[in-house]
Structure 1
């Protein structure tokens, strides 16, 4: 029986560990926390998983919360505009506002709930769980005792094993300051009172507010997620440690920059004391193979080697896709050695998908060019455009066909308008 070590108990690590386990591999999982510590800790992400990623979970029987989590069927975009002329000092308005149909459903499950549950499932099925903060020196030992070591922990010392890929990493500093609040008590948008939708609110020159339904440890909730341009008016959470202060600051910024969202948030409260998160990181693509001091090689997984800013909501989705690609490659490889050539070829299979996410995410971090502004504005008049944009969150490769190049955007909008008469 082949022995595989998985370092990191996040979306990719646990999905891979459970998938390999189901195919008879002897899997050891290294996590820096127990299931109970994960469940009672601080929120870790703003995950919203679209149909393709959910399908990878479903294929392994890991969709344990599918019946409880809100079914998100739409994705809306609002763009803030200036106050009305008659009230120049008044609240900002919505220059653009529309909702696209996802063509399926997305879901968000608090990773505290999911990762704790998956960790328990792994041990219940006989997997070996090692609760330990793995260091480079540990991996030297593990490469001698295992056929393959997969590094799925995207932070800390282990990431330094994987060199930055300058060609695919245009940024050297964080492009957004991130602030998350999980809340109960958020009302629905009045124009769609019965719909479960993700809302993307763009405030030019300031940042973005994302609002999404989720399932957390205390039931249905919503996530309020600010992405602020560094040094701007949203970049104010760095020294905030009190959860209540974090939420109050979130709401005051909503009142100023997205009053239409604030109107439904006047009665919210945090889901729990661990329901806030703030931070920032630099989007980076890295070399997929890490070399250890003892000469062994390890393979980087998901955001260890492709870390994008969450502005396009692709983190958990990409992790699920990466785990599915790696699982398939491992199964196909049989009893052959997991050498560096195989590792690079396996990553290349994942990069074929991930490159589209990276290109799109990096583009969304920059000021939108005129043709993208035209596309987003046209989606409010042309429902098929809104639907296609929304469905790009499930299949980012499609943006190559109508988003990046002005000529393709213009041709697509002209064709769609003509088709609608």
Structure 2
């Protein structure tokens, strides 16, 4: 039985660990926190997982909260005009529903499930020195912790990493009491609000420790008016500040906020990180190699909502690569090949995400405007969040965009 060590207890690491157990691997997960500590901590992310990622969870019976979690059945886009009105506003249905489960709920539950299914859980923070001695005990070591000292084992790929600093200042609040959008009161949708020159507000239906909720998520252009959370306000002050910004820039969304309150006193988050692609094989001081996965090696800005989806798809891709390796060694060449297989998909997410961080070129403005008149265009854009590889065929290139729009 091949032995695998996975460092990190997020979407990618735990999904890979639990799926490897299904194939009779001896799997150890090292987590810095217990399930109870995760549940008692602050929110860690936003997330909205689309159908392919959700199916990976169903395939391994990991969809423990699917029945009670609100279904995200659409995606809507609004663009703010200078006078506070909407220059553009439309919504489109998804071909298959999406869902968002607070990682405090999911990761705590998955850690417990991992132990129930026979996995070995070690609660301990891991340093490079720790990993250097542990690596000899396993056939494969996977680093799935996207923050901290271990990330330094993986070299930045400058050709694939155009940014050297964060492109957005991020602020999040999980809330109850948000009224439905009047345009679609009978179903839930992610609302994508663009404030030109200022940033974006996403509103994501989700599920948290206290049941179904909404996630308010600002992406602010650095140095702009949405970049105002570096003083780390208290949870209530954080929410009040967000509501004030919504009132100022997005009054149609503020109209929904009359009964809004935090889901709990740990339901806010602020920060930012630099989008980066790193090389997948990290070298330990001893000369041994470890494999990086998900946002250790491909970290995109969350403006396109692909973080958890990438993590799930990376775990599924790495599972296939591990199973195909059989009894052969997990050497550096194999690690690069496993990443290359994942990158055939992830490259499209990175290209699209990096493009969305820039001011929209004329052909993109034309597409978004056409989506307000042509449901087929709106639907294709909305469903691109499920399969971002589609954007290369019509959205990212001006000539392809013109050809597509001519057909509709």
TM-score, normalising length from structure 1? 0.96
**Counterpart pick for 2:209 among 217, 220, 223:** 217
Q: What residue in structure 2 maps to residue 108 of structure 1?
A: 100
Q: What residue in structure 1 maps to residue 240 of structure 2?
A: 248
**Counterpart pick for 2:112 among 113, 120, 130:** 120
- Separation in structure 1 between the aligned mates of residue 403 and residue 116 of structure 2, nearest angstrom: 55
Task: Kindly provide the CA deviation profile for residues 100-158 of structure 1, in whole angstroms up to 9, marking residues without a partner as x.
Answer: 22101000000000000000000111211111110101111121000000000000100
- Separation in structure 2 between the aligned mates of residue 312 and residue 176 of structure 1, nearest angstrom: 12
Are 1:350 and 2:342 counterparts? yes
Are 1:44 and 2:36 counterparts? no
- Separation in structure 2 between the aligned mates of residue 60 and residue 198 of structure 1, nearest angstrom: 27
Residue 368 of structure 1 deviates from its aligned partner by 0.5
The equivalences for 1:3-402 within 5 A come to: 3-83=3-83, 92-402=84-394
Residue 37 of structure 1 deviates from its aligned partner by 0.5
Residue 214 of structure 1 deviates from its aligned partner by 0.3
Give the RMSD, CA atoms, in angstroms: 0.6
- Separation in structure 1 between the aligned mates of residue 85 and residue 161 of structure 2, nearest angstrom: 35
- Separation in structure 2 between the aligned mates of residue 196 and residue 295 of structure 1, nearest angstrom: 51
Secondary structure of residue in 1 paired with 2:200: strand
Task: Kindly provide the CA deviation profile for residues 37-71 of structure 1, in whole angstroms up to 9, marking residues without a partner as x.
Answer: 11111001111000011011111110111101011
Aligned residues: 408
Residue 314 of structure 1 deviates from its aligned partner by 0.1
Secondary structure of residue in 2 paired with 1:6: strand
Secondary structure of residue in 1 paired with 2:373: coil
- Separation in structure 1 between the aligned mates of residue 233 and residue 14 of structure 2, nearest angstrom: 30
Secondary structure of residue in 2 paired with 1:201: strand
Residue 75 of structure 1 deviates from its aligned partner by 0.4
Secondary structure of residue in 2 paired with 1:299: strand
Unaligned runs of 5+ in 2: none
Task: Kindly provide the CA deviation profile for residues 278-334 of structure 1, in whole angstroms up to 9, marking residues without a partner as x.
Answer: 000000000100000011000000000000000000000000000000001111111
Secondary structure of residue in 1 paired with 2:352: helix
Task: Kindly provide the CA deviation profile for residues 5-62 of structure 1, in whole angstroms up to 9, marking residues without a partner as x.
Answer: 0000000000001011111111010000000011111001111000011011111110
Residue 270 of structure 1 deviates from its aligned partner by 0.2
- Separation in structure 1 between the aligned mates of residue 238 and residue 186 of structure 2, nearest angstrom: 29
- Separation in structure 2 between the aligned mates of residue 140 and residue 23 of structure 1, nearest angstrom: 27
Residue 192 of structure 1 deviates from its aligned partner by 1.1
- Separation in structure 2 between the aligned mates of residue 123 and residue 52 of structure 1, nearest angstrom: 26
- Separation in structure 1 between the aligned mates of residue 325 and residue 155 of structure 2, nearest angstrom: 26
- Separation in structure 2 between the aligned mates of residue 78 and residue 67 of structure 1, nearest angstrom: 30
Secondary structure of residue in 2 paired with 1:294: coil
Residue 97 of structure 1 deviates from its aligned partner by 0.5
Instruction: List structure 1 segments (4+ residues) > 6 angstroms apart after TM superposition.
Output: none
Greater CA drift, 233-242 or 220-229: 233-242
Unaligned runs of 5+ in 1: 84-91, 417-421
- Separation in structure 2 between the aligned mates of residue 282 and residue 400 of structure 1, nearest angstrom: 23
- Separation in structure 1 between the aligned mates of residue 56 and residue 125 of structure 2, nearest angstrom: 28
Secondary structure of residue in 2 paired with 1:411: helix
